[in-house]
């Protein structure tokens, strides 16, 4: 908005106090070794295992009807979870960053709560709330509504697990941006939704998208919570990760890793998008 800032200047003096070359090489070597053991070998293994019975088997494994059903269920879950949590994230971040009120710190801590909860417990709480053996769950059952061991259960468990992702991206961003622009718009006569649509939303769009990508990635991959509430009914309540697990436990390793390779592609895509968006972030933050 003001003048373009100069790009970060290269260090004028290149000879900084740094570690001697042998130390550098040794430390880089140790790091690369760690990456080989913990990142590259597992990634390589997925593809090696996935293609061990050839390309035809690979394609068959990922296009077989149960796999397709699992992909559909996962996509359905993502399509419901991400917009709901994104909408909440924006609303909560608006309330928290644009106003002063007592108990703000406590509220922020509560928003992070799902991160401190084991995925298995995240599933358990919904079984306790709406499972068929609970009063509320049996009442729902009498009215023909089934939540646990069906799609709604998977959706709410995923909602819980991915609850903080968008809001915790937005709060620091909106706190840094402050309220001056919105307040200026207000004094110029803009109404609430105009302020939000024309000022706040464009300002936070990258952060919002970033949070949604993280939320989406976790929704696709969530295993523990979904595993508790799903009931593992093939073709009905199996998400992609659960399908991977079932194939694996049946010793159908090639098919299991073939389906897992879809998830690896998505994870690599997420990481790539993250890097691309962080660059955008940095560009954007120059303007503020």
Binding to another protein (CB under 8 A): which residues in 5-34? 16-20, 23-24, 27-28, 30-32, 34
The candidate with the shortest Cα–Cα distance to 223, out of 199, 248, 250, 198, is 248
Q: What is the footprint of another protein within residues 171-200 (CB under 8 A)?
A: 179, 182-183, 186, 191-192, 195-196
Distance between terminal CA atoms of the chain? 8
> At closest approach, how far in Å is the CB of 257 from another protein?
7
Residue nearer to another protein on the CB measure, 2 or 285: 285
218-246: b or e for each residue (b if 16 or more CB lie within 10 Å)? bbbbbbbbbbbbbeeeeeebbbbbbbbbb
Distance CA 268, CA 247 (A): 23
Of positions 222, 230, 238, 255, contacts another protein by CB under 8 A: 222
Give least dist CB 3 to another protein, A.
Answer: 25
Report the C-alpha gap between 4 and 287 in whole angstroms.
Answer: 8
Beta carbon nearer to another protein, 206 or 223: 223
Q: Is 264 in the site for another protein (CB under 8 A)?
A: yes
Mask: binding to another protein, 82-101, rule CB under 8 A, as x and -?
Answer: ------x--xx-xxx-xxxx
By CB under 8 A, is residue 47 in contact with another protein? no
CB-based contact 157:123 (threshold 8 Å): yes
Site string for another protein, 107-146 (x = CB under 8 A): x-xxxxxx-xxxxxx--xxxxxx-x-x-------------
Cα–Cα distance, 276 to 147 (Å, whole number): 38
């Amino acid at each position: 908005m003001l003048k373009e800032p100069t790009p970060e200047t290269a260090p004028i003096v290149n000879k900084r106090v740094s570690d001697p070359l042998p130390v550098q090489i040794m430390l880089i070597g140790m790091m690369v070794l760690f990456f080989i053991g913990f990142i590259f070998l597992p990634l390589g293994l997925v593809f090696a295992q996935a293609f061990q019975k050839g390309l035809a088997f690979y394609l068959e494994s990922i296009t077989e009807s149960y796999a397709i059903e699992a992909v559909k269920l996962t996509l359905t879950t993502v399509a419901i979870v991400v917009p709901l949590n994104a909408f909440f994230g924006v609303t909560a971040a608006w309330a928290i960053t644009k106003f002063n009120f007592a108990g703000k710190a406590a509220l922020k801590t509560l928003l992070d709560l799902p991160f401190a909860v084991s995925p298995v417990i995240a599933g358990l709480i919904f079984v306790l709330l709406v499972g068929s053996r609970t009063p509320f769950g049996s009442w729902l059952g009498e009215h023909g509504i089934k939540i646990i061991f069906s799609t709604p259960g998977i959706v709410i468990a995923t909602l819980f697990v991915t609850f903080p992702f968008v809001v915790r991206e937005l709060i620091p961003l909106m706190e840094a941006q402050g309220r001056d622009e919105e307040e200026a718009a207000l004094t110029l006569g803009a109404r609430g939704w105009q302020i939000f649509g024309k000022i706040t939303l464009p300002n936070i769009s990258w952060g919002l998208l970033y949070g949604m990508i993280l939320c989406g990635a976790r929704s696709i991959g969530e295993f523990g919570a979904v595993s508790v509430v799903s009931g593992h009914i093939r073709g009905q309540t199996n998400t992609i990760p659960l399908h991977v697990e079932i194939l694996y436990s049946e010793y159908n390793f090639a098919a299991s890793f073939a389906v897992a390779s879809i998830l690896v592609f998505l994870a690599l895509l997420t990481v790539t998008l993250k890097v691309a968006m962080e660059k955008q972030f940095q560009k954007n933050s120059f303007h503020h």
